[in-house]
Amino acid sequence: MISVVVIGAGNVGSHLVKAFQSAENINLVQWYSRDKKSIEAPTKEIELCHDLNNLKSADVYIIAVSDKAIEALSKQLPFKNRLVVHTSGSEALKKLDMKHKRGVFYPLQTFSKTSELDFSQVPFCIETMDKLDSDRLKALATYMGSPSYMINTEQRQALHLSAVFINNFTNQLYRIAHELTDYKSVNFDVLKPLILETAKKVQLTSPYNAQTGPAKRNDQVTINHHLRTLETHPDYQALYKQLTNSIKTTHGLKKL
């Protein structure tokens, strides 16, 4: 049995609490939030805490707050020599105060409070200063049904950057596509099978080999037609050109 205190009630913290509650061999000792209103509809099974001085003893303290708050919050914890980890993809392990046994327990996934998550599909990137601590975090991930990987800070930061391209930037492209279809009164649902097939394809082959479309086949007629269509959306036209040139460069074709 591993005892855990979750510090933070944002998207990540809220999902971790749900996962810990439903997992065997994990004892959720407390859930801390500075703001009493930030934890919505807590169950009686969770002991809430709003004062760091009232934190109870646990095997692991998980700081799930914004990146900019990690360092200051870790300094405020009223104890030392306990395992304290953060969940950030971009912040270094050394952001945690040196009085603690430091670690990283980074879930590489997108989190929204309104969306349920299957933690068997959430890989955890683990970094610690000590093997015993890494073993404990690996066990914690295993009890959640999640895969885990030992990843150093530079590797984790590269993964986080890659995740921004894969998730955040891709979602913005979905949003632009949604706007363009709405503009012509076309139901965005027509595109959803393509979204799924695109994601499915890279499970089976490399993104390089999966690339298709007018830029890849150097179809300048279609490209020019798209650019004319986007003349009323200059920002999107510029983005289209940039992405088209990126694909052309990747595949050894002449840029626009």
* Residue 61, in any domain of the structure: yes
The 26-32 sheet, strands edge to edge: 48-49, 26-32, 2-7, 60-63, 83-86, 101-107, 124-128, 148-150
Does 49 share its domain with 94?
A: yes
* pLDDT over 60 (residue 41): no
CATH label of the domain that carries residue 223:
1.10.1040.20
pTM equals 0.89
Does 178 share its domain with 59?
A: no
Domain boundary among 151, 169, 190: 151
117: three-class secondary structure by DSSP: coil
* Residue 193, in any domain of the structure: yes
Look at residue 131 in the predicted model and tell me its pLDDT: 95
Look at residue 95 in the predicted model and tell me its pLDDT: 95
* Residue 255, in any domain of the structure: no
Look at residue 40 in the predicted model and tell me its pLDDT: 60
Does 57 share its domain with 79?
A: yes
Q: Which whole number is the average pLDDT over 31-37?
A: 84
Does 62 share its domain with 124?
A: yes
Provide the pLDDT confidence category of residue 115 given band limits of 50, 70 and 90. Answer: confident
* Residue 256, in any domain of the structure: no
Domain boundary among 97, 131, 151: 151
Does 54 share its domain with 104?
A: yes
Look at residue 169 in the predicted model and tell me its pLDDT: 97
List pLDDT tens digits, range 168-210.
999 999 999 999 999 999 999 999 999 999 999 999 999 999 9
CATH label of the domain that carries residue 136:
3.40.50.720
Does 127 share its domain with 172?
A: no
Domain boundary among 151, 186, 220: 151
Look at residue 39 in the predicted model and tell me its pLDDT: 72
Please tell me the least confidently modeled range out of 34-48, 109-123, 226-240. Answer: 34-48
* pLDDT over 80 (residue 37): no
* Residue 197, in any domain of the structure: yes
Does 187 share its domain with 125?
A: no
Provide the pLDDT confidence category of residue 116 given band limits of 50, 70 and 90. Answer: confident
Provide the pLDDT confidence category of residue 148 given band limits of 50, 70 and 90. Answer: very high
**68 within 8 A of 83, measured Cβ to Cβ:** no
* Residue 171, in any domain of the structure: yes
Closest CA to 191 of 174, 206, 203: 174
* pLDDT over 80 (residue 42): no
- Residue in the block written with tokens 């610690």: 128
Domain total for the chain? 2
Averaged confidence pLDDT in the chain: 95
Whole-number percent of the chain with pLDDT over 70 = 97
Does 125 share its domain with 57?
A: yes
Does 191 share its domain with 130?
A: no
Does 107 share its domain with 6?
A: yes
* Residue 240, in any domain of the structure: yes
* Residue 56, in any domain of the structure: yes
Does 66 share its domain with 128?
A: yes
- Domain that residue 118 falls in: 2-151
Please tell me the least confidently modeled range out of 110-114, 118-122, 190-194, 214-218. Answer: 110-114
